[in-house]
Amino acid sequence: MTQAFYTGLTGLRSNQTAIDVTSDNIANVSTTGFRANRVEFSSLFEDAVTSLNTSSKNDSIGIGTSIGSTQMIQETGALKLTEKSTDLAINGNGWFGVQNNDGQTLYTRAGDFVFDKNSDLTTNEGMYVLGTMSGNIEGTTLTKAVPQTQLGDISTQETLRFPKTLDYPSVATTKTKFTGSLDVKEDAKNIFVSSVIDSQNNKNSLKLEFTQSTPQVLPGMQWDVVASTISPDGQTVYDTKNAQALFDAKGAIISTTLSTINNNGSDVKIDLGNNFDGVISNNSQQPMVSNSDGIRAGNLVGYDINSDAEVIATFSNGEQSSVGKIALFHFQNNQGLTQVSSTSYSSSSNSGEALFFKDEKGNSIYGTDVLNYTLEDSNVALSQSLTELIVFQRSFDSNSKVLSTADEMMQKALDMDA
């Protein structure tokens, strides 16, 4: 009779835990990045009983049940598209790293990140996202444009915090190439203009004026060239160069004495091409096109996250640069993580320390895909969870009746003794 009390009590306690876990799953069915848990029951110690009819066969009587473990369900939740580049989803194994206000590192699958009022990348709860900074920002100035950021070593990961204002410095033009055909009609003047940036961030003009040389020496054609650099308002001529360009009978350029010109303090190399790759002298009527390096200064327009989970700064001059990369962590045993909140976990001795995957060259890599404009839904299977909740509730009721029945039997036994 005492055994009935043990069986009922352990059943009540175990099923109550199962109800709590399942109810928490159902409550988080719409929580981004939530990973459901399942309970596993185990029997308590049993007593072996020898059957009176068959001495060689042993039966056993259990004395209750307990929760053996609570395990995380690791299937990836459904992926849904969003309208924000800062919404990220891990399509496979891995965890985002975040840092709370106490400096503790936690791990989450919820990638609904935002840039806060200070332009720091955070979770909706205000925890800082961890990753690799590109190292190309000094104060509020971008020191160089970086097309791609390589994920650093795991020990170097830090909070991704960016300045609210960021300047893209001007880069003076060093080379301008011209391509296209000259009008070979007699007395025709060909004037071509290209924009060139000086060291003071001015967008000046580089003008080339081609005039047929006199006299012409066959075969081929000769052109006199006057190159000049002019201020944006057209009032100041910074430099003027006189040169000659020689073309063969087919119109291909042979040589030119035009080399460099001063652009308000910085030299610009003028490239007329080689053979038919550049300026030509024939009746093909190809439009004259110029291509100059150099970039005007720009101001920060905003930060976004691209499909490689890199933070990209966009500037008013049309330029972009990577300024950071979000980290992706892995564990030897995800089941060993300790749940801190509905979507965040901490490492433990059972999970092992966080680690990065490496490629054959030893570089840190993700090892899976990270998608922007995407969020991972909760992986709770609602219909299954509701069914399990009904089962656990009925089991709880049954164990409650076991206790009631055992109590009645004990009371009758005491009454009989009286």
- Where are the domains positioned within the chain? 2-74+378-417, 82-162+324-376, 175-292
Question: What pLDDT score does 408 carry?
Answer: 66
What is the CATH number assigned to the segment(s) 175-292?
2.60.98.20
Nearest partner of 386 among 36, 72, 9, judged by Cα:
36
Determine the Cα–Cα distance for residues 114 and 125; give it in Å rounded to an integer.
10
Nearest partner of 289 among 378, 197, 179, judged by Cα:
179
Phi-psi region of 389 (alpha: psi -120 to 50; beta: other; left: phi over 0): alpha
Question: What pLDDT score does 153 carry?
Answer: 96
Can you give the pLDDT of all 418 residues of the chain as single tens digits?
556 655 656 666 777 777 888 888 899 999 999 999 888 776 655 554 444 555 444 555 556 676 666 789 999 999 999 999 999 999 999 999 999 999 999 999 999 999 999 999 999 999 999 999 999 999 999 999 999 999 999 999 999 999 999 999 999 999 999 999 999 887 778 999 999 999 999 999 999 999 999 898 888 999 999 999 999 999 999 999 999 999 999 999 999 999 999 999 999 999 999 999 999 998 888 888 999 999 999 999 999 999 999 999 999 999 999 999 999 999 999 999 999 999 999 999 999 999 999 999 999 999 999 999 999 999 998 888 788 778 877 776 666 666 667 666 667 666 665 5
Element (H, E) at 228: strand 221-230
Question: What pLDDT score does 46 carry?
Answer: 54
Q: Give the burial class of 241: count Cβ atoms within 10 A of its Cβ; 0-12 exposed, 13-18 middle, 19 or more buried.
A: middle
pTM of the predicted structure, to 2 decimals? 0.78
Question: What pLDDT score does 43 carry?
Answer: 61
Task: Determine contact, residues 173/194, Cβ cutoff 8 Å.
Answer: no
Number of neighbours of residue 192 by Cβ within 10 angstroms: 17
Question: What pLDDT score does 396 carry?
Answer: 66
